[in-house]
Chains A and B, each alone.
Chain A
Amino acid sequence: MDEQIFTTHVRQRLDDTFDDSREILTHLHRVVRQRLKQMGIWNLPPKYLGFEEYHDQSWEGSAAMDDLVQEAYLACIEKRLEKLGQHLEITGSCEGSVHRKLKWFLSDRQEKGNPIARRVFRNVRSASESLIEDGRAECSCSERLNAKSIILAVGQQSPEPTEVLQDLFADVLGDPVFLKTVHQESPGSWQMMATVVEAKFSQGMSGYKIGELAKLVGETCKRPGVVSEAEPMASNGQKSILEILADSRTELPDSRYQQSDDLESWIAKLTRHAETSVRNAQIRKRVLNMLTALAVLIREGEDIRQLSRRKLADKLGVSKSTLAEDFARLQTYDLMQEASETETES
């Protein structure tokens, strides 16, 4: 990496000698444009990165590029100035660090800009991978599956055209439960997709192109009303406590814990599990703290089903992923306990 423009800029920022923005702005525009081209979205409207206000305009024909570059600067340099300064001081350069962060930033932006299509695509791809691994489908491609990969039923030669796929999947695309699940990020979602595809194979479907099937399902999910009905809290990026649980039990969607009385007894049960089953003292303490906090919130009349994972994580001083892991631990103990009770009864 010959150019050291980001490094020079960070050095100037920390030395308080930054007074000419032309070079960094030009460089940032150039790097972001290159990256968008590499990602294959330079020719797509800015709405694919979440810039809905520019709708079908182009990157060059709108102010979207300016907005994106400013966001990129804030996320990749301004908010990381301390870390970049450390990097610069010790290694003499922070060029690679900024470039890598820009790549991640744009990927995140793409994820957030078109989340449903991205999630559906991944679920269709994971379902296809699973079917191939199990010998229930075939694919001639040797590399990782992508949108152009063709998945065939065993012994078949060519995929179905798009209009035939539409007919074949018409029943599931009209099924609210399918649509509710297929655009979510969970193992249950792609497993369900795999089951549906296998059923279609048995009904005579010869095969499909991953990109076409994902587009068909994704477009249906994005129709007005479908997503808002299916995932009421997705719009503000929040995720309820019960959805966290649902993440690890999507194959068993049940409503046992929908009432607040049930929630209290459920928390009491999980507390007993945690006290006896979590061996690691630090994890046990953290899990019990979490359950105590939930019990307090319920007593205070808060509907914890509406509490976001972020809010609870902030309240407990843990990361969102750690919170989800602790729930997963409790779910494991819960399921083991149930299995044990069932075994005892039988």
Chain B
Amino acid sequence: MKDFFADPQFQEKLRRSAAEAREKIADIGTVSEIGSGDCFFIPESDDLPVRWVAVLQHKDNPSLWFLVAADEFSQVGTCDVEIPEANPMAPLVMRCNLGLWAHQDDIDLTRYVGRLDAESVSNARSRLSEMVRGEVPVTAHGVVAEANDDYREWMAELSVVCNDIETRMHAEPVVLYRPVFDTSWTELSIVAEHRTDYSTSLAADPTGEMLSAADVPPALALESKLPGELLLQRDGDEFDLVYFPSSQDDQPPRLAKAVGLKVKDGDWVMGPDGVCTWSQTLTLVDGHVSFVIAGKAYDIAMS
């Protein structure tokens, strides 16, 4: 067995490269909030040479980031974006069809491993747009890669990892916004929403203004024993009852009574996203919104 480590020149080379690596690792630093291009390790892929790149912040909800897998496997499929050889993170290929929406609270900032340059991130965002519009350029190398057994095997493995991450992250409701109106009447102070409705297509448009918190309807999560989430959303002086079913089979609860309403004239209306909204708006009567739903009476005083 030849011992190539015994070569003094090679030993010197190894010492130099180790010193350079130490320096670069120390230079990575830390982040206090997620920025475009930030790369992280995620526990589900700890035993794989994969990092996850934050390529896009949700335009309606800045708490959400679209992450794509990036690895060192040399094959580049049609939906993949390879970063140039001269890039400090090269070799690296972003697998744009293997991504997921992650809430910032679910991304461990201590697992930050550097920031990818803006141009590479922009290329990934463009590719996501092309994927949604059906305009991905079809190249021979892409088609060949996708017919390659090793590539298929790797993508299948990454896909399982991606699903595992999504399953874990989506297992609990995500905090979206703190309500902007008086909550002194209740201990509930956050609004929650399940994250199963986001799709890759939301990542498609890298343009567009971010909405501010004020643009999002303020709402309160109502304490209940229902399997889904019951919210009271405010729209000026009117209020909407909204129910996020926990599953496709979960039916919204019966609204038995509401002050100022003939509830028998109303019904739940399910939107295309599966979220149910009561067809009548609840009104403020003497500074209160009062109703009985799922066997529980609510009398909410508004300031």
Residues of A at the B interface (CB closer than 8 Å) are: 1, 13-14, 16, 18, 21-22, 24-26, 29, 63, 66, 70, 73, 78, 80-83, 85-87, 89-91, 93, 95-97, 100-101, 104, 107-108, 122, 126, 144, 185-187, 190, 247-248, 250, 280, 282-283, 313-314, 317-322, 324-329, 332
How long is the Cα–Cα vector from A29 to B2 in the complex, in angstroms? 10
- Beta-carbon contact of B137 and A78 below 8 Å: no
B261 at the A interface (CB under 8 A): no
- Beta-carbon contact of A14 and B138 below 8 Å: no
B85 at the A interface (CB under 8 A): yes
B152 to chain A, nearest CB (A): 8
Residues of A within 8 A of B80 (CB): 321
Partner of A95, one of B47, B84, B142: B47
Q: A97-B48, A101-B49 are in contact. Are A247 and B24 (CB under 8 A)?
A: no
- A contacts with B: majority SS: helix
- Beta-carbon contact of B141 and A324 below 8 Å: yes
How long is the Cα–Cα vector from A165 to B137 in the complex, in angstroms? 38
- Beta-carbon contact of A85 and B47 below 8 Å: no
Partner of B22, one of A66, A85, A107, A190: A85
- Beta-carbon contact of A90 and B111 below 8 Å: yes
Q: A185-B140, A317-B86 are in contact. Are A16 and B113 (CB under 8 A)?
A: no
- Beta-carbon contact of A319 and B85 below 8 Å: yes
Interface string of B108-137 (1 = CB under 8 A from A): 001101100001001100100100000001
Chain A to chain B: the 4 pairs with minimum beta-carbon distance, closest first: A96-B47, A247-B140, A21-B5, A328-B137
B299 at the A interface (CB under 8 A): no
Residues of B within 8 A of A24 (CB): 5
Given A81-B21, A91-B46, 4 further pairs, Cβ under 8 A: A16-B18, A29-B1, A90-B113, A319-B82
Partner of B149, one of A14, A104, A144: A144
How long is the Cα–Cα vector from A40 to B18 in the complex, in angstroms? 35
How long is the Cα–Cα vector from A95 to B49 in the complex, in angstroms? 10
Q: A97-B49, A280-B126 are in contact. Are A66 and B1 (CB under 8 A)?
A: yes
> Interface residues of B, CB < 8 Å — how many?
54
B74 at the A interface (CB under 8 A): yes
How long is the Cα–Cα vector from A334 to B106 in the complex, in angstroms? 46
B132 to chain A, nearest CB (A): 13
How long is the Cα–Cα vector from A81 to B13 in the complex, in angstroms? 13
- Beta-carbon contact of A100 and B113 below 8 Å: no
B73 at the A interface (CB under 8 A): yes
- Beta-carbon contact of B25 and A89 below 8 Å: yes
Residues 16-74 (chain B) with a chain A CB within 8 angstroms: 17-18, 20-22, 24-25, 28, 41, 43, 46-49, 72-74
How long is the Cα–Cα vector from A1 to B144 in the complex, in angstroms? 32
Can you list 12 A-B pairs with a CB-CB distance of less than 8 A? A16-B15, A66-B4, A80-B72, A86-B25, A86-B114, A93-B46, A122-B144, A248-B140, A282-B122, A282-B123, A322-B123, A332-B137
B216 at the A interface (CB under 8 A): no
Residues of A within 8 A of B143 (CB): 186-187
Residues of B within 8 A of A247 (CB): 139-141
Residues of B within 8 A of A1 (CB): 47
Partner of B41, one of A91, A185, A325, A329: A91
Q: A85-B25, A95-B47, A321-B76 are in contact. Are A248 and B1 (CB under 8 A)?
A: no
How long is the Cα–Cα vector from A89 to B28 in the complex, in angstroms? 12
- Beta-carbon contact of A280 and B119 below 8 Å: no
How long is the Cα–Cα vector from A12 to B14 in the complex, in angstroms? 12
Residues of A within 8 A of B73 (CB): 104
Residues of B within 8 A of A70 (CB): 2, 4
Nearest B residue to A243, CB-CB: B140
How long is the Cα–Cα vector from A99 to B17 in the complex, in angstroms? 21
- Beta-carbon contact of B144 and A319 below 8 Å: no
B242 at the A interface (CB under 8 A): no
Nearest B residue to A184, CB-CB: B140
Residues of A within 8 A of B122 (CB): 282
How long is the Cα–Cα vector from A335 to B248 in the complex, in angstroms? 46
- Beta-carbon contact of B24 and A319 below 8 Å: no
Partner of A122, one of B3, B46, B148: B148
- Beta-carbon contact of B82 and A96 below 8 Å: no
How long is the Cα–Cα vector from A167 to B81 in the complex, in angstroms? 45
- Beta-carbon contact of A282 and B126 below 8 Å: yes
Residues of B within 8 A of A108 (CB): 74
Residues of A within 8 A of B41 (CB): 86-87, 90-91
Nearest B residue to A21, CB-CB: B5
- Beta-carbon contact of A25 and B3 below 8 Å: yes
Q: A122-B147, A319-B82, A319-B83 are in contact. Are A96 and B48 (CB under 8 A)?
A: yes
Residues of A within 8 A of B144 (CB): 122, 185-186
Partner of A78, one of B2, B14, B47, B82: B14
How long is the Cα–Cα vector from A144 to B149 in the complex, in angstroms? 9
Residues 76-99 (chain B) with a chain A CB within 8 angstroms: 76, 80-86
How long is the Cα–Cα vector from A325 to B5 in the complex, in angstroms? 42
Chain A CB within 10 Å — which of B15, B85, B140 has the most?
B140
- Beta-carbon contact of A326 and B48 below 8 Å: no
B150 at the A interface (CB under 8 A): yes
Residues of A within 8 A of B49 (CB): 80, 83, 87, 96-97, 100-101
How long is the Cα–Cα vector from A236 to B196 in the complex, in angstroms? 50
Residues of B within 8 A of A21 (CB): 3, 5-6
- Beta-carbon contact of B4 and A126 below 8 Å: no
Q: A86-B28, A248-B140, A322-B81 are in contact. Are A81 and B18 (CB under 8 A)?
A: yes
B101 to chain A, nearest CB (A): 22
- Beta-carbon contact of A322 and B21 below 8 Å: no
B216 to chain A, nearest CB (A): 29
B15 to chain A, nearest CB (A): 7
How long is the Cα–Cα vector from A101 to B47 in the complex, in angstroms? 11
Residues of B within 8 A of A324 (CB): 139-141
How long is the Cα–Cα vector from A263 to B126 in the complex, in angstroms? 29
Residues of B within 8 A of A327 (CB): 139
